[in-house]
Amino acid sequence: MSNTPPDLLYSKTHEWVRPEGEEAVIGITFFAQEALGDVTYVEMPREGDALTAGGEFGSVESVKAASELVSPVSGTVVAANAELETAPETLNSSPYNEGWIVRVRLSAKPDGLMDAAAYEAHCAAEKH
Amino acid sequence: MKTIFAESVPGRGSRFFASDAPAAAKMLPAGLLRSRPPRLPECSELDVVRHFTRLSRLNYSVDANFYPLGSCTMKYNPKFTEYVAGLPGFARLHPLLAQLGRGAARTQGALRCLHEIEVLLCEITGMEAFTLQPMAGANGEFTGVSLMAAYHRAKGRARAKMLIPDSAHGTNPASAALAGLEIVNVESRDGMVDPEALAACLAEHDGDVVGLMMTCPNTLGLMESRLPEIVALLRGADALLYYDGANMNAILGKMRVGDAGFDVVHLNLHKTFATPHGGGGPGSGPVGVNARLLPFLPAPRVVKGEDGDFFLNDNLPQSIGAVGPFYGSFAVIVKALAYMLRLGGEGLERVAEYAVLNANYLKKRLQNVLDIPFERICAHEFVASAPEGLRALDIAKALLDRGFHAPTVYFPLIVRECLMAEPTETESKQTLDAYVEALREIVEQGGKDPAGLAAAPLNMPVRRLDETTAARRMALTEDMG
């Protein structure tokens, strides 16, 4: 698996978005989980919570740091990944699949996000 | 590791004496009563002495080893200050005495110490007044933030946003959030607060910004170079500027934060003024303010009357109230005062000079060992990244095996595989050189044998701890039997 799947959209703050019709799935990228190190706790919104693009919607704690989750889209949470409550390490082992964080019903079309190539360039710039 | 309970032998120690006091059952609700008596360890004096001596030898302290923990100022704590704080007039003073009727007359010496350290702290920082109540740095931050909020409230404004640079100490956003404020992150440029980014934040949250919390020099060990612009921008929005005193050691006697335009400052007496700390305290986090914030300081305040006598003033109608018990960490304050008087103004200036010299010497010597992201002259500390392919954590653990405390790792978050070292002024060139050689060896070893490095430490009381499992499956209680 590539570290930056080509079919996703990416935010500057290292969240990914997989649009699926009226809905979208959100998680954090391979780069983000690697920078954080072993994830120990994921604080997630609940079903029905409203997310605003650019707004905080939870946090990820690792052995190194606690980091805010910034929503890349606006909408309403339809599901949060319950598996992360008991197995936060899933964020490390499968950031793009089993480690998804929330599923959102979009209230606006995703805007201002990057494609995989632009995101890889963004990560390369951030390394220095 | 064995606890004192493991040393217990029935019948060896603790005895209960008959007492006339009413039984607990007469004073407490049934739900709060124990179902059986507490199990107390039964040990002889020798058992106890050996147990705690053993524990103390597992401890790591600045009295035994170099301790370059960044942003923590683990300098040597001279022993004469312990003598001063242990004088019976200080050590046996009852904390309530000063507050009793005519009690001030019997505690003039203690009140004078509190007054004198306030005068000295004002002189050093250029502030108008200090409260000595906060019990440590984070308590000081909470106090400072509360004072800033009180300033805006008194002007009839309900401002809710605190601006915090991304290089700030984690306690800054935590303190502001505890005080009920929302945090707005200000992105830095070249490791420093960027006035353009600040102006954009002020515009975006126009009329809603309480202030900006700054650490200066910042956690990268860099002196902010655009401070006057930052001060002007905040003044324009009538927002306040907070100085986090964690890095005060770098500027003692060299820069007065009040003159530079800061409105409120907390100091860590336990860092800058050499009182023992680490492992949770005791600390002392006095907060200084300029005239704008003075009316809101915690009560009571020690005041010098016209007759030259000292008294406690409780009549402060705009005060935010008490933030700590009594007058703060009194013994810590006495030690800090003794340290300041012993060094004098010239000595305190030399503290900053040697702290900065030591950090720059270390940084220069490590240039070919670690990756140093900022080449500018640093202040009292500097950040470095582990060389490509090595992990900061492995290097830190390997340092323990070689008799050095690790630097702060993975902080600040904006530096990759970060190792942040603050040598302080009290270390000799020989110690710094030995630390450089240890790091050189470690990096060499890591290049040849990364797996070996990942196994460190080998010679400590415990080997590599599984921090991940400890954080994922927390055990916060222990069965006391």
A:B CB pairs within 8 Å: 23
Residue A2's pLDDT band, with cuts at 50, 70 and 90, is low
| Residue among A13, A38, A39, A123 with most chain B CBs within 10 A, to mutate | A38
Residues B157-203 pLDDT 10s: 999 999 999 888 889 999 999 999 999 999 888 888 999 999 999 99
Q: In this complex, which of B170, B413, B467 lies closest to A63 when CB atoms are compared?
A: B467
Residue A14 lies in a domain: yes
Q: Do A88 and B416 make contact, defined as CB atoms within 8 angstroms?
A: no
Confidence band, pLDDT 50/70/90 cuts, at residue B3: confident
How close does chain B come to A31, measured CA to CA in Å?
A: 12
Structural domain includes residue A61: yes
pLDDT attached to residue A89: 94
Judged by CB atoms closer than 8 Å, whether chains meet at B472 and A89 is answered as yes
Checking phi first, is residue B129 left (phi over 0); if not, alpha (psi -120 to 50) or beta?
A: beta
pLDDT exceeds 70 at position A64: yes
pLDDT at residue B14, as a whole number: 60
Residues of B whose CB is below 8 A from A65:
410-411, 413
Is A29 domain-assigned?
Answer: yes
Of B170, B411, B472, the CB nearest to A88: B472
String of b and e for B163-174 (b: at least 16 CB within 10 Å)? bbbebbbebbbe
Q: Which residues of B touch A88 (CB under 8 A)?
A: 472
When CB atoms are compared, the residue of B170, B416, B468 closest to A63 is B468
Inter-chain CB proximity A65 and B471 less than 8 Å: no
Rg of chain B on CA atoms, in Å? 25
- Cβ separation B413–A63 shorter than 8 A: no
CB contact under 8 Å between B472 and A61, yes or no, is no
Q: Which CATH number covers residue A36?
A: 2.40.50.100
Here the tokens at position B89 are 């007039």
- Alpha-carbon span A94 to A92, nearest angstrom: 6
Residue A120 counted as domain residue: no
b/e per residue A45-68 (b: at least 16 CB within 10 A): beeeeebebeebbbebbbbbeebe
Separation between Cα atoms, residue A3 and residue A30, nearest integer Å:
6
Question: ipTM beyond 0.85?
Answer: no
A41 assigned to some structural domain: yes
**Tens digits of residue pLDDT in B329-355:** 999 999 999 999 999 999 999 999 999
Angstroms from B467 CA to nearest CA on chain A: 7
Nearest CA in chain B to A61: B471
Q: What is the mean pLDDT of residues B304-325?
A: 94
Question: For B471, which of A63, A67, A127 is closest by C-beta distance?
Answer: A63
- Higher-pLDDT residue of B354 and B99 is B354
Contact B472 A64 (CB under 8 A): no
Q: What does the pLDDT read at residue B252?
A: 97
Q: Given an 8 Å threshold on Cβ–Cβ distance, is A41 in contact with B467?
A: no
Q: In what order do the strands lie in the sheet with A23-28?
A: A9-10, A15-20, A23-28, A102-106, A75-80, A50-51
- Find the closest chain A residue to B471 by CA distance: A40
Distances (CA, A) of B29 to B32, B34, B38: 6, 11, 18
Place B475 in a pLDDT band, splitting at 50, 70 and 90: confident
Alpha helices in chain A, H assignment, sequence order: 30-36, 83-86, 90-93, 116-126
Residue range(s) defining the domain that contains residue A101: 9-108
Residues of A in contact with B472 (CB under 8 A): 40-41, 88-89
Question: Which burial class, exposed, middle or buried, applies to B40 when counting CB atoms under 10 A from its CB (0-12, 13-18, 19+)?
Answer: middle
pLDDT of residue B291 exceeding 50, the answer is: yes
More confident residue, B374 or B76: B76
Does residue A116 sit within a domain? Answer: no
Does A4 map to a domain? no
Describe the crossing of helices B108-125 and B330-365 by its angle, rounded to 10 degrees.
30
Predicted pLDDT of residue A126: 77
Report pLDDT for A1. Answer: 42
* pLDDT score recorded for residue B481: 53
Percent of chain A with pLDDT over 70: 97
pLDDT bucket at B443, cuts 50 / 70 / 90: very high
pLDDT at B17: 76
Tell me which chain A residues have a C-beta less than 8 angstroms from the C-beta of B413: 65, 67
Q: What is the largest CA-CA distance in chain B?
A: 74
Q: Which tens digits make up the pLDDT trace of A10-47? A: 999 999 999 999 999 999 999 999 989 899 999 999 99
Higher confidence at residue B162 or residue A1? B162
Test B468 with A38 for CB contact under 8 angstroms.
Answer: yes
Which candidate in A12, A64, A123, A127 is best for mutational testing of the B interface (most B CBs within 10 A)?
A: A64
pLDDT for position B255: 95
- Is A39:A87 a contact under the CB 8 Å cutoff? no
Higher pLDDT, B254 or B191: B254
User: Strand A50-51 and strand A75-80: pairing?
Assistant: antiparallel
pLDDT bracket for residue B480 (50, 70, 90): low
Token digits of residue B168 = 């700030």
Which amino acid appears at position B127 of this protein?
M
Which residue from B minimizes the CA distance to A84? B472
What pLDDT digit, counting tens, does each position of B138-156 carry?
999 999 999 999 999 999 9
Considering chain B, what is the average pLDDT of its residues?
93
Contact flag A41-B472 (C-beta cutoff 8 Å)? yes
End-to-end, the C-alpha distance of chain A in Å comes to: 25
Above 90 in pLDDT, residue B39? Answer: no
Residues B191/B374, Cβ–Cβ less than 8 Å: yes
pLDDT exceeds cutoff 90 at B473: no
Q: State percent of chain A over pLDDT 90.
A: 84
CA distances to A54, B51, B280 from B2, in Å: 50, 9, 22
Per-residue pLDDT band at B38 (split at 50, 70, 90): confident
> Mind listing the pLDDT tens digit for each residue in B364-377?
999 999 999 988 89
Centroid of chain to Cα B472? 27
Whether A48 maps to a domain, the answer reads yes
> What is the least distance, in Å, from the CA of A27 to any CA of chain B?
20
Please give the tally of structural domains in chain A: 1
